Chains A and B, each alone.
Chain A
Amino acid sequence: MSLARGSAVVLVWVVLLAGCEPWGKPAAPQKEIAEDFQTLFRENCSGCHGEDGRGGPGRILNDGLYLAFIPKASLRKVIEEGRKGTAMPAWARSEGGPLTEEQISVLVDGMEKNWAKKVNLRGAALPAYEAGAVTGDEMRGNKLYLRDCFACHAKGGIAGPLTEPAYLALTTKQNLRTSIVVGRPDLGMPDYRVLNRGRPLSEQDIADLVTYLMGKAASK
């Protein structure tokens, strides 16, 4: 190879290399904060609420009825502040959690957008998220429990008892209320629309059941 040809080859290499970014050059700092719903949900929520918002030990979130039942503001508040008395921790930075206001907005909006759908209430009125002024009747709740829940929630029943003191110590009135209303379709528990032998439970029924169960917790 002549000197001229050699230098030409070297020159071409230099020009080619000059156009490349060296592999070792550090990439420009990127925004580390995840901002898409899928990533945020997977990293922060799926541990308890399941891969796709269902099938986890925690509340089903990927469910039209649940998202219709809970007002957006309450959903946001639960994420921000957590739920005292349950395993739900606070996620907002203002509460010592890891997520920013924007990230929580992404989560709330993402759940609405991806999972909310029109629910056929079968003529039953959708109960309010929070219990109203209705006073629960413990005795009636006991009867309702035997009538509407016991078939599955008996000791040794397919869903196991609800009356275990340790369970009741780890739940809240609101938690029981939500479970009765929305059920656990992913685990086979029906919702309030059919729990009364195929007919809907009334606002009074739900209040009675919650009062009965929480009374069980208090008495133990």
Chain B
Amino acid sequence: MNTLRKAAVWLDDRLHLTALYASTAGHEVPKSAGSWFYVFGSATLLCFVIQIITGACLAFVYIPSTNEAFTSLQYLNHAQFWGWYLRAVHNWGSNFMVAIMTLHMIQVFLFGAYKYPRELTWVSGIFLLVSTLAMAFTGQVMRFDQDAYWGLTIGASITGRVPLIGAQLVHLLLAGPIIAGETLSRFFTLHVFIIPGLIIAIVSMHLRLVLTKGINEYPKPGHPVHRGTYDAEYAEILRKEGVPFVPHAIGKDLIFAALVIVGILGCALVFGPKGPGGPPNPTIVDTNPRPDFYFLSIFAALALLPDWMEVLILFVAPALILIFLLALPFISGTGEKSATRRPVAVLSVVLIMLVIGVLTYMGETSPWSPHMSAWSGNSIPARYVKGRTPLQLRGALVFQNKQCRNCHALGGEGGERGPALDAVATRLTRDEMVRQVIQGSGNMPAYGKKLSPAEVEALVSFMETLHPPGVPGARPSDKPQNKLPRDIASLHHRLR
């Protein structure tokens, strides 16, 4: 016994284990910080650890080559014993990580934890947010399926629009002008080595800051932060009601960690892995690629923004958001911490989450995506065929054959990108239809070069028949057929 004790003392003397424990797990935190609201940070870290473990296991099998990435995922899904589950846990781990990280960020914001003296904790957290989203994006590329291919294509197209150095940036991103074998190697390196390394480094700093600057006390309304007095107040709180993190405050973290693990393992079991969906072949146009859920809102915003907003949303907005997030603790580093006294902060969170939520929903349903098989698979409603002239029937064929149907519904079937055309003749005159078809406008491409004059003629004469029975077609505004103005004019004439 004595020998064992001696050995332990010797080890402690050399490794300073007691001191390490006292300054980390044993460090004092305000008792009020042992709250259910304070569990999200450790849960995010837990997700990251799960990602590292499952990611390392996946790396044993995954082959980062364009020829074999898809096959190696198929192997995991179908041949390797419970290989699909490994993929599923990694996928759901990432979903949980992004979700819980978001909760952590919201909590820190609403509890004013980013204020003096924890500015750098927040700033390092912002870098972790960016790194985690970068992990999510590069991870999506690892699947190297259609979603990955088109996600990359969109990313590269956006990058290519950076002024002056766009082409060089695309080269940097894709390791060449196009998506090729080197692209996957590059993203593999980023996803497996560089970004995780960065995250580990920033997390270390993040945690060190938590230890040195302490965990934010549960904010009380009416206790604003002042630069001159806060440090003394915090020391007083610790002196009065400080408890060691382990074992007093860690209990709820552990329970939440267990819930997260059960959640990830359960979701993985029930919902399984994502993809890989379809080989990344740009010649397959009959595809409906969409990003993973954390990018669905961006996907929706990009799809919906009007063209004059493109530069604003693509470049100005992300830069502004990032600058604002980084500057936040310096802009409002003092003052009230409690959410009950910060209505603007609460409303901002509600508004931002609503916008992101709605955009995510839009991204999931993506009503703007053309239905690529509508032209050959959705028949023209019989009522639009009966009683039509040979030319109008040709026009209906042009309508299908030139894939107008993929964006424009008839009888409730077809794409929703453009307006349904069941009553187009009540909105547009013949000339306006011709102009719209030939020149396009807004999101509609110009079809002038893709249609012969006869095809335009046929198409427009078909569309002219598209109005509800009894409702007259649109008339040119310069040729009023309404009798009233002329009658008034003649009356006026007669009266004179």
Closest B residue by C-beta to A156: B389
Chain B residues, CB < 8 A from A165: 454
Segment touching B, from A8-16, A44-52, A117-125, A128-136 = A44-52
Closest-CB distance, B385 to chain A (whole angstroms):
5
Contact A47 B390 (CB under 8 A): no
Closest B residue by C-beta to A52: B379
Report the bound CA distance from A49 to B400 in whole Å.
10
Closest-CB distance, B80 to chain A (whole angstroms):
12
Report the bound CA distance from A33 to B396 in whole Å.
28
Q: What is the predominant secondary structure among interface residues of chain A facing chain B?
A: loop
Is A24 at the interface (CB under 8 A from chain B)?
A: yes
Given known A-B contacts A26-B273, A160-B389, A42 and B377 have beta carbons under 8 A apart: yes
Given known A-B contacts A44-B377, A46-B377, A26 and B78 have beta carbons under 8 A apart: yes
Chain A residues, CB < 8 A from B387: 158
Is A64 at the interface (CB under 8 A from chain B)?
A: no
Chain A residues, CB < 8 A from B393: 57
Closest A residue by C-beta to B391: A167
Report the bound CA distance from A169 to B398 in whole Å.
13
Is A106 at the interface (CB under 8 A from chain B)?
A: no
Given known A-B contacts A164-B391, A169-B452, A26 and B84 have beta carbons under 8 A apart: yes
Interchain CB contact (< 8 A) of B397 among A23, A48, A153, A159: A48
Contact A44 B454 (CB under 8 A): no
Report the bound CA distance from A169 to B389 in whole Å.
15
Chain B residues, CB < 8 A from A4: none
Contact A47 B269 (CB under 8 A): no
Closest B residue by C-beta to A164: B391
Is A190 at the interface (CB under 8 A from chain B)?
A: no
Given known A-B contacts A48-B397, A158-B387, A166-B453, A22 and B379 have beta carbons under 8 A apart: no
Closest A residue by C-beta to B461: A166
Interchain CB contact (< 8 A) of A166 among B271, B286, B376, B454: B454
Report the bound CA distance from A154 to B280 in whole Å.
54
Closest-CB distance, B438 to chain A (whole angstroms):
15
Is B378 at the interface (CB under 8 A from chain A)?
A: yes
Chain A residues, CB < 8 A from B268: 24
Report the bound CA distance from A165 to B454 in whole Å.
8
Q: Mark B353-385, 1 if CB is under 8 A from A, else 0.
A: 000000000000000000001111111101001
Chain A residues, CB < 8 A from B377: 42-44, 46-47
Report the bound CA distance from A48 to B84 in whole Å.
42
Report the bound CA distance from A159 to B389 in whole Å.
5
Contact B458 A23 (CB under 8 A): no
Closest A residue by C-beta to B460: A166
Closest-CB distance, A209 to chain B (whole angstroms):
14
Is A100 at the interface (CB under 8 A from chain B)?
A: no
Contact A87 B398 (CB under 8 A): yes
Given known A-B contacts A24-B271, A26-B84, A87 and B394 have beta carbons under 8 A apart: yes
List CB contacts (< 8 Å) of A145-188 with chain B.
Answer: 153, 158-162, 164-167, 169-171, 187
Closest-CB distance, B401 to chain A (whole angstroms):
4
Q: Mark B174-197, 1 if CB is under 8 A from A, else 0.
A: 000000000000000000000000
Chain A residues, CB < 8 A from B380: 47-48, 50, 56-57
Chain A residues, CB < 8 A from B422: none
Is A25 at the interface (CB under 8 A from chain B)?
A: yes
Chain A residues, CB < 8 A from B270: 22-24
Contact B394 A167 (CB under 8 A): yes
Closest-CB distance, A63 to chain B (whole angstroms):
15
Is A110 at the interface (CB under 8 A from chain B)?
A: no
Chain B residues, CB < 8 A from A73: none
Is A18 at the interface (CB under 8 A from chain B)?
A: no
**Which residues of A come within 8 Å of B, CB atoms?**
22-26, 28-29, 42-51, 55-58, 86-87, 89, 98, 153, 158-162, 164-167, 169-171, 187
19 contacts between A and B (CB under 8 A): A22-B270, A22-B272, A24-B88, A24-B267, A43-B377, A46-B379, A47-B380, A51-B379, A55-B382, A57-B388, A57-B400, A153-B390, A160-B390, A160-B391, A161-B390, A165-B454, A167-B389, A167-B390, A167-B394
